């Protein structure tokens, strides 16, 4: 097995046992990036020299922990000292970060190396756009298709086995969307668990930073460094005794899912029950209400961030970004207050659900990835998802692969836990991962 094919955990074990050096791992990952990036456009800046210098310095060190010598891709709205943070936009081409983002600093201290800044949808709100300084990332399962967003390059790079892990951000689902479309594990932690200092904001009260990985164990390892805790203790505890609430109405009534996506969710519920979980149906507020609250708050807060550029240089945005941001200029303080009031009611409803269940099972995306060049399909499918509710409530939510569509593209599901119950969430995800066997499926590259 070549080094780039190793999971984060496998590479970490090999480095700790001196069977693999950080430099050997990095060089193989960079060769993989060099071979695939022209087709996938997942990286917009490669820092090969800086990463090699960092890896060489780590070669002879006593390993600092599980991320020692591990290459991690960084979404380009997250600061790395001395490098541009462009947000994939002409508005920010001249920007250079003066310091590492807090989460980058934590990863660096743990021995991670950073070979590339990765593509994103512009300012984490646009879609795949062809009128920007950098091309949009593409899906490794089929490069004619959308990889999900806005952490599009992060999803593409990890799915393509270029890097073992990458960081993304999630305001309405932007870590979990590429995880859904690229067949990965994508985690939005509890709001506030991972620091956001040095991350360009989209909506202050909805933004999260989270990892994309190939396995649940890898997710637990990198989250431990990001959040300063150990999340691996329950990974092997299994599903027996967990009560899982199946939120069927999200994908059966609110936004009827592709039949193959719906069937994969039912099969996942059957499998969870076979592994010892107790399944019961749960009703939450309708998806449309969650989406309206998220949209109003996001517009209000994004408008505060982008007001100057919208007034002074609107032509520098991609057309899709400009179209999505312009409504922010018309959201009133009254709208924002009413949305926050309704948000409190929705938070109470989800908290109430967790008095009777340990975990929620829901859809993530309602459809597999559409073609990247079909603007109408992108606009139609992008909001067809059940990720937004948990940005509104702040609960930790994880997306994981649940099968393959007849088109050859990944299917997915979402698991959600009470606030700050990431260990329980990862326990459930690891149990499903072992039982389902999907983690070893890779794009045909």
Catalytic residues: 75, 150, 174
Judge contact between 269 and 361, C-beta under 8 A. Answer: yes
Distance separating alpha carbons of residues 47 and 269, to the nearest angstrom: 43
- The secondary element (H helix, E strand) that includes residue 436 is helix 422-436
19: three-class secondary structure by DSSP = coil
Q: Is residue 56 packed enough to be buried (19+ CB in 10 Å), middle (13-18) or exposed (0-12)? A: middle
Distance separating alpha carbons of residues 352 and 15, to the nearest angstrom: 45
DSSP string, 297-351: HHHHHHHHHHHHHHHH-GGGS-HHHHHHHGGGGG--HHHHHHHHHHHHHHHHHHH
Give backbone dihedrals phi and psi of 356, rounded to 5 degrees, phi first.
-120, -15
Give backbone dihedrals phi and psi of 428, rounded to 5 degrees, phi first.
-65, -45
Beta strands 243-246 and 278-281 are: parallel
All residues at 6 or more sequence positions from 350 whose CB lies less than 8 Å from its CB, including other chains: 284, 360, 389, 390, 393, 395
All residues at 6 or more sequence positions from 70 whose CB lies less than 8 Å from its CB, including other chains: 8, 11, 12, 15, 22, 25, 111, 112, 113, 164, 165
- What's the token pair of residue 356? 């009777």
Q: State the sign of the Cα–Cα–Cα–Cα dihedral 123, 332, 192, 426.
A: negative
Distance separating alpha carbons of residues 203 and 321, to the nearest angstrom: 15
């Amino acid at each position: 097995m070549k080094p780039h094919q190793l999971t984060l955990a496998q590479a970490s074990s090999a480095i700790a046992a001196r069977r693999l050096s950080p430099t050997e791992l990095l060089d193989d990952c960079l060769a993989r990036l060099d071979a695939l990036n022209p087709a996938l456009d997942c990286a917009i800046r490669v820092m090969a020299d800086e990463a090699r210098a960092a890896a060489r310095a780590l070669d002879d060190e006593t390993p600092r922990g599980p991320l020692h010598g591990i290459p991690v891709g960084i979404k380009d709205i997250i600061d790395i000292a001395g490098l541009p943070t462009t947000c994939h936009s002409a508005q920010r081409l001249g920007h250079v970060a003066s310091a590492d983002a807090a989460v980058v600093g934590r990863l660096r201290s743990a021995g991670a190396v950073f070979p590339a800044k990765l593509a994103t949808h512009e300012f984490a709100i646009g879609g795949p756009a062809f009128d920007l300084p950098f091309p949009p990332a593409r899906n490794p399962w089929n490069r004619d298709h959308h990889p999900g967003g806005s952490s599009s390059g992060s999803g593409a790079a990890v799915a393509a086995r270029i890097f073992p892990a990458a960081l993304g951000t999630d305001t309405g689902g932007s870590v979990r969307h590429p995880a859904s479309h690229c067949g990965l594990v994508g985690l939005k932690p509890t709001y506030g668990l991972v620091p956001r200092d040095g991350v360009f904001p989209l909506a202050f009260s909805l933004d999260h930073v989270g990892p994309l990985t190939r396995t649940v164990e890898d997710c637990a390892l990198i989250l431990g460094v990001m959040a300063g805790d150990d999340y691996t203790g329950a990974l092997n505890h299994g599903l027996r005794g967990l009560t899982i609430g199946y939120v069927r109405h999200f994908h059966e009534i609110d936004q009827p899912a592709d039949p193959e996506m719906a069937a994969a969710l039912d099969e996942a519920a059957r499998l969870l029950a076979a592994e010892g979980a107790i399944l019961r149906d749960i009703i939450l507020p309708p998806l449309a209400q969650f989406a309206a609250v998220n949209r109003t708050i996001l517009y209000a807060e994004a408008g505060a961030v982008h007001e100057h550029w919208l007034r002074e240089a609107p032509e520098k945005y991609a057309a899709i970004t400009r179209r999505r941001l312009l409504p922010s200029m018309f959201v009133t303080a009254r709208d924002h207050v009413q949305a926050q009031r309704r948000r409190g009611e929705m938070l109470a409803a989800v908290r109430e659900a967790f008095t009777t269940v340990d975990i929620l099972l829901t859809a993530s995306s309602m459809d597999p990835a559409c073609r990247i060049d079909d603007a109408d399909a992108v606009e139609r499918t992008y909001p067809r998802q059940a990720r937004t509710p948990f940005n509104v409530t702040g609960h930790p939510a994880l997306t994981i692969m649940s099968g393959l569509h007849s088109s050859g593209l990944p299917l997915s599901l979402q698991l959600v836990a009470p606030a700050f119950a990431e260990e329980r969430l990862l326990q459930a995800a690891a149990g499903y991962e072992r039982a389902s066997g999907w983690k070893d499926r890779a794009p045909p590259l």
